[in-house]
Amino acid sequence: MRTYLVVDIGNTSTSVGYYRNGKVSGVGRCPSRFKSLDEVVPLLGVRPVDAVVVASVVPPVNARWKKAFKAAGLPAPLFVSHELELGVPVDYPRPQRIGADRLANAAAAVRLLGMPSVVCDFGTALTFDILDPRRGYKGGIICPGLPLMFDYLAEKTALLPHVAPSKTKAVVGRNTEQAMQIGARLGYRGMVREILAALRADFGVAHLPVCCTGGYAGWIFKDWDVEAVIDSKLTLRGIGIIGELNA
């Protein structure tokens, strides 16, 4: 049974883990735009692996990461793209423009939930990827992410502070920070609910399986009546599945 080093290169940070037989372990993080190989090589060479599979949404740093893999004594990496076997067909006008992380999420969601299904990724942007039983990956929806909401309010107003998501069950804020927290949580839930309702109507189904990942998925879905599978390792899992399919 093969072991894969799975790497998810994002705009700010990179997640690295090990995939074997459907499971992801040993996850670590580092900057995507590292300055020295010493910053990442110790993270890469922890375990022996059979292959390296990478999903990158930052093409300018790919050459730097290739040097890091070589310095760690690892095999040449396989980069996720629409041209690989994904376990799901891609019916999209310009498939080369689909982010590699979104392809990985789709591969994992199909394995976990089948089709039809939807993947919600709560990151810097909130993305929805739609998987159709006849057409496979057919497109998505992109919304501003929670970090952008908080950053924009702080940057564009004189009196609103910079806050981060925090737990609150209140409906009416008793101070500025709490009011912002409530607005973000309830507003985001309303947006997600409306989008999922539109997708169910589009598919003509009463129930549409949903899989969520990203740092803010738990904050949004905790104690909520909308059912979803939350998997913080979904992207790395999908990268590993793609590695298996293209071994």
Environment class of 218 (CB within 10 Å of its CB; exposed 0-12, middle 13-18, buried 19+): middle
- Whole-angstrom Cα distance, residue 20 to residue 49? 10
Bin 136: left if φ > 0, else alpha if -120 < ψ < 50, else beta.
Answer: left
Catalytically annotated residue among 8, 50, 101, 151: 101
223 catalytic per annotation: no
What is the b/e burial string over 115-151, where b = at least 16 CB atoms within 10 angstroms of the residue's CB? bbbbbbbbbbbbbbbbbbeebbbeebeebebbbebbe
Those residues with Cβ within 8 angstroms of residue 95's Cβ, 6 or more apart along the chain or in another chain: 82
Give residues with Cβ within 8 angstroms of 146, minimum separation 6. 122, 126, 165, 184, 188, 216, 219
Q: 171: which 2 tokens? A: 């409906």
Three-state DSSP string of 130-157: EEECCCEEEEEEEEECHHHHHHHHHHHC
Q: Are 112 and 131 in contact (CB under 8 A)?
A: no
Q: Three-state SS across 181-202?
A: HHHHHHHHHHHHHHHHHHHHHH
Residues acting as catalytic residues: 101
